[in-house]
Chain A
């Protein structure tokens, strides 16, 4: 009998090891595939740019673009431009996140606030907010205040709607149970609704983050000055294609890094949640 049990547990252990190995292999393959496809695009870019079918003005080789990024990094221009763009995007994003969650939570709690803001959110959400840029420049000028304001204006909508939807989807029984146990409305909001709505709020933030970066760069392109957008626009005007493509590569790297960081933050904040358990 003991022998049968040993054999069964051995078989289970073997199956676990096989499953684990398959999962790791799958993870490596998936990660490798991501790197491989990017590498393939970069090699194709380099070969096509050197084929003589296009001029260096139309498409500079990837190696020349990397060289340009290196030169900018050594001179310090890259860090100034990168730092300012990320600072503007992140400042706008944080303000949009705080205001968006606060507004979404208030709308879910107060009928009056919801009555007032619901039509504004419904009309404003699908609108291209960047169309307000000339007005924001007119009112606030061309410095950081207007660049950050347009980021907040654009990024706040997905946060508000995600917060509203997240709170609306919280299990009623959880809320009733908390109330039955004597929790105040404030405690229900902070200890039940917001934590339970966190996955959807974080999804809204994950949508708002790339929007913040995109809008910050567009704002810099229009308003000039330091920043990746301003540098790209200036390079474009001086027919400096290497500079323009260097900006594109830099934006891609920054965007990827921000999205990955946000994914890590999500996993950390939702360590208790079912989705994190499924991933791990």
Chain B
């Protein structure tokens, strides 16, 4: 009897171990702005993700900005960080996460012929030059984010320092238009899709752009930690292969109307408003999802020069593009 119970226990144990091994890898990805960030509309095309549910599962989580992602990455609560050029060095140099690696491109800002994010003021307001912002209130989605650091860089170029010369208020991107219209703030960053809101266009005008502040930027990159990459390389390549397939579907002009329909459902705006989606009015997104590491190096060095991080670092040494290259090969 005892022998039978022992054998049954061993069988149950082996079964549970094999089941545990067969569990797909859980991957959590972050997004900030709907439509602008891939992860906000990734699951809508999961029918193209051939490995989804087999080698991995995917969950997309919304964040107010890229800085809160750093804490989530540090706590191993976020596997794929959607970090900006400014938050990547904050994570590596300030938070000491030396093992963070750039694994893919999300989008680039200021690439000639493509979208360049703007900072807008009231068209009929008193702000005519950057210097006029002295003593005013400027909005940001999150202190330390890409739009925040570019804005501070531009204001510093004109002799204005945060707190000393102007006040920064955090507000979510969807609330920016109302805050400007109600004169609660004097300058707002506008990112897609909110930047092309017809009502905003009626009341606001651009004062400067991200390109004016920092030049071409590798604005957002996908990141993962090295121990996670090493432990789950095969599943990650599967995930990137599926992600690239989904990205290419969205970027394909013949799918434009269907993509606009998905964007409409996500943002509760009419699909006609998404004529710009994945055209040259949109951000530049590399079809092979390869980030511009030279631009990113310049952005990181600038973030250091502005005093936002303790030290700069070699971006290439903190990148692992082999995953995305392997994924791209599979789709050739």
A residues near B (Cβ < 8 Å) are: 55-58, 137-138, 141-143, 222-226, 230, 233-234, 236-241
Interfacial residues of chain B within 79-111, with CB under 8 A of chain A in the complex: 90-91, 94-97
* Residues of B in contact with A (beta carbons under 8 Å apart): 67, 70, 74, 90-91, 94-97, 137, 142-145, 163, 167-170, 182, 184, 308-309
CA distance A120 to B96 in the complex (A): 51
B90 A238 Cβ-Cβ under 8 A: yes
* Contact A223 to B169, CB < 8 A, known contacts A55-B74, A138-B182, A237-B142: yes
Complex CA–CA separation, A224 to B166 (angstroms) = 10
Q: Which residues of A contact B67 (CB under 8 A)?
A: 236-239
Q: Given A142, A225, A230, which contacts B184 in the complex, CB threshold below 8 Å?
A: A142
Q: Which of B90, B163, B309 has its CB near the most chain A CB atoms (within 10 A)?
A: B163
Complex Cα distance A238/B142, Å?
A: 10
Residues of A within 8 A of B182 (CB): 138
Instruction: For the complex, give the distance between the alpha carbons of A225 and B163 in Å.
Output: 5
Contact A55 B96 (CB under 8 A): yes
**Distance between Cα atoms of A239 and B137 in the complex (Å):** 24
Contact of B168 with A224 in the complex, beta carbons under 8 Å: yes
Q: Report chain B residues within 8 Å CB of A240.
A: 94
B95 touches A239 (CB 8 A): yes
Q: Which residues of B contact A230 (CB under 8 A)?
A: 163
Q: Are A239 and B70 in contact (CB under 8 A)?
A: yes
Question: What residues on A are CB-neighbors of B168 within 8 Å?
Answer: 224-225
Known: A137-B184, A138-B182, A225-B163. A239 touches B308 (CB 8 A): no
Sample of 17 further A-B pairs with CB below 8 A, known A143-B167, A224-B167: A56-B96, A57-B74, A57-B96, A57-B97, A137-B184, A142-B184, A223-B167, A224-B169, A225-B163, A225-B168, A226-B163, A236-B67, A237-B142, A238-B144, A238-B308, A239-B94, A239-B144
Complex alpha-carbon distance, A225 and B70, angstroms: 23
Question: What are 27 sample pairs from A and B whose C-beta atoms fall under 8 A apart?
Answer: A55-B95, A55-B96, A55-B97, A56-B96, A137-B184, A141-B137, A142-B167, A142-B169, A143-B167, A223-B167, A224-B167, A225-B163, A225-B168, A230-B163, A233-B143, A233-B170, A237-B67, A237-B143, A237-B144, A237-B145, A238-B90, A238-B94, A238-B144, A238-B308, A239-B70, A239-B94, A241-B95
Determine the distance from Cα of A56 to Cα of B67 in the docked complex, in whole angstroms: 17
**Which residues on the B side are within 8 Å of A234 (C-beta)?**
143-144
